[in-house]
């Protein structure tokens, strides 16, 4: 009996082993093959390989763009610069154009799918001179997709609506919509006229923005860079022909919002923005015509000089300083960083209290810029940072409830919140030694 059981077990083992072998062999045979229910790409080309696209809508003139990388031009229906980003998106879709379902392996009657006279045709040429012609036909009866095929391939597929929408572009979609064309890293000067003021910004020796006209003032780098970004990204809105026809009159009747210019080694470019009711319109020195533009461009340029000035009194930023000195009359408090500790007269101080003072100095900002009113200073704040390379000194005067500050060697005057100044005074006056030091 025992021998018979061993024989049965051996047979079962052989059957199971054979099943495993067959399963593994079958899976190995499938490697590299798509699942049977998958649908192939009609085109499989890397997007950076295309050099030309021709888009033809049924009963319309073709749109032709040529180029590569970030340099594209439109040759039909007009000679215009083309939008490299929009064409990159087009190239990505065409280069991996996917299908949903195979409808016919060898379609004899293309008319049944609207492919004898396609609603949309896209021809693409690559660097190695290969040509692809993608045909998009009628919408499917269920409305869930469109018929599609590649010219020269007898198969007919369905494709998703978003695939069609991604390549269904007219000349206005593919034209370069930028109103200014400059390299922001090369901009040395910006000039702004808005809110009845004209002012100029330039780069200082350290590469930071400063206001250079009508006077020399520190600029808020973040605000200046945001202004530059809005100018660089200034683009026309996409409008219908009927809407575009109304733009010149709306621009002419509009109220001036801002006039701006940017200067690079290649020259100066200008833009003028106007508002008419709730819409904004612009004209630039780079491209002919007037255009409707997004509201955020108008709002972004509608700034006064004070909007772009640096409101902070100190520039040491998020790096802790090396030394802080507070002079009030004859009393002088000097705080020095020694290794990991803060010291006064060689004794360690309570670190959280010192940090509180530093944070208040870092955040000290004006509530209003003033043309005058500074009198005899009653408080002087000095911060040394950047390993001793940078020294900032602030003098503060008081007249009644008004606290007015000025930075050393600068003409600008800043009105301060008196409560904040008093908090700094109180924090310095109550500064204690570290617990470990005080016990000794």
Could you read off the pLDDT of 347-388 as tens digits, one per residue?
A: 999 999 999 999 999 999 999 999 999 999 999 999 999 999
One-character DSSP codes across 217-256: EEB-HHHHHHHHHHHHT-BPPP--HHHHHTHHHHHHHSEE
The answer to whether 51 and 71 are in contact (CB under 8 A) is: no
Q: Helix 351-363 to helix 418-429 angle, to the nearest 10 degrees?
A: 160
Pairing of strands 63-68, 347-348: unpaired
Interacting residues of 99 by C-beta distance below 8 A, sequence separation 6+: 39, 40, 41, 42, 148, 157, 158, 159
- Rounded Cα–Cα distance for residues 220 and 414 (Å): 15
Contact 88, 176 (CB under 8 A): no
Residues 6+ apart with CB under 8 A from 302: 194, 195, 257, 258
Q: How far apart are CA 156 and CA 108, in angstroms?
A: 10
Measuring CA to CA, how many Å separate 235 from each of 176, 191, 269, 291?
9, 19, 14, 9
Measured CA to CA, the distance from residue 200 to residue 219 in angstroms comes to 10
β-sheet bridge partners, residue 133 = 123
Residue pLDDT, tens place only, 280-306? 999 999 999 999 999 999 999 999 999
With beta carbons less than 8 A apart as the criterion, state whether 394 and 405 touch: yes
> Among residues 201, 217, 198, 200, which one has the least CA distance to residue 209?
201
The structural domains of the chain, with segments of one domain joined by +, span: 47-174, 184-308, 323-434
Q: What pLDDT, on a 0 to 100 scale, did the predictor assign at position 37? A: 45
In 3D space, the residue among 257, 283, 256, 258 whose CA is nearest the CA of residue 269 turns out to be 283
Q: Which fold has domain 47-174?
A: Immunoglobulin-like (2.60.40)
Positions of the chain with pLDDT under 50? 1-4, 6-37
Q: Residue 224 and residue 310: Cα distance in Å, rounded? A: 10
Burial of 30 (0-12, 13-18, 19+ CB in 10 A): exposed
Which pLDDT score is estimated for 38? Answer: 54
Decide: residue 380, CB within 10 A, 0-12 exposed, 13-18 middle, 19+ buried.
middle
Distance CA 23, CA 282 (A): 68
Closest CA relative to residue 268, chosen from 281, 256, 284, 255: 284
CA 238 to each of CA 81, 244, 285, 348: distance values in angstroms, whole numbers, following the listed order: 15, 9, 20, 65
Bridge pairing between strands 390-399 and 290-293: unpaired
Contact by Cβ (8 Å): 313, 365:
yes
Residues 235, 192: Cα–Cα separation, whole Å: 18
For the chain, count helices (H), then strands (E).
12, 26
Looking at residue 358, its pLDDT comes to: 96
């Amino acid at each position: 009996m025992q021998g018979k059981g061993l024989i049965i077990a051996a047979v079962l083992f052989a059957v199971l082993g054979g099943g495993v072998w067959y399963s593994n062999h079958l899976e190995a045979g499938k490697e590299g093959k798509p699942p049977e229910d998958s649908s192939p790409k009609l085109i499989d080309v890397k997007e950076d390989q295309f050099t030309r696209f021709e888009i033809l809508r049924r009963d319309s003139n073709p749109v032709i763009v040529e180029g590569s990388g970030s340099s594209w031009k439109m040759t039909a229906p007009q000679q215009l610069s083309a939008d490299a980003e929009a064409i990159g998106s087009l190239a990505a879709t065409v280069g991996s154009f996917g299908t949903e379902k195979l409808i016919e392996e060898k379609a004899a009657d293309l008319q049944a799918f609207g492919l004898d006279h396609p609603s949309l045709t896209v021809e693409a040429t690559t660097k190695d001179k290969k040509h692809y012609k993608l045909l998009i036909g009628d919408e499917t009866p269920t409305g869930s997709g469109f018929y599609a095929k590649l010219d020269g391939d007898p198969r007919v597929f369905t494709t998703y609506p978003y695939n069609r929408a991604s390549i269904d572009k007219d000349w206005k979609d593919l034209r370069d919509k930028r109103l200014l064309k400059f390299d922001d890293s090369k901009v040395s000067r910006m000039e702004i006229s808005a809110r009845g003021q004209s002012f100029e910004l330039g780069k200082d020796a350290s590469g930071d923005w400063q206001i250079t006209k009508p006077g020399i003032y520190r600029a808020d780098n973040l605000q200046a860079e945001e202004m530059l970004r809005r100018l660089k990204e200034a683009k026309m809105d996409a409008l219908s022909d009927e809407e575009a026809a109304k733009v010149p009159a709306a621009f002419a009747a509009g109220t001036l919002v801002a006039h701006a210019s940017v200067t690079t080694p290649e020259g100066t470019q200008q833009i003028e923005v106007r508002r008419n009711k709730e819409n904004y319109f612009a004209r630039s020195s780079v491209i002919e015509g007037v255009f409707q533009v997004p509201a955020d461009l108008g709002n972004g340029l509608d700034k006064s000089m004070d909007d772009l000035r640096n409101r902070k009194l100190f520039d040491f930023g998020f790096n802790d300083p090396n030394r802080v000195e507070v002079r009030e009359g004859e009393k002088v408090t000097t705080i020095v960083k020694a290794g990991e500790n803060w010291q006064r007269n060689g004794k360690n101080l309570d670190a959280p209290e010192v940090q509180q003072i530093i944070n208040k100095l870092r955040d000290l900002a004006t509530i209003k810029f003033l043309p005058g009113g500074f009198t005899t200073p009653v408080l002087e704040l000095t911060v040394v940072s950047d390993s001793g390379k940078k020294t900032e000194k602030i003098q503060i005067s008081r007249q009644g409830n008004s606290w007015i500050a000025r930075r050393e060697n600068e003409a600008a005057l800043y009105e301060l919140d008196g409560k904040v100044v008093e908090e700094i005074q109180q924090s310095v006056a109550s500064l204690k030694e570290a617990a470990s030091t005080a016990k000794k």
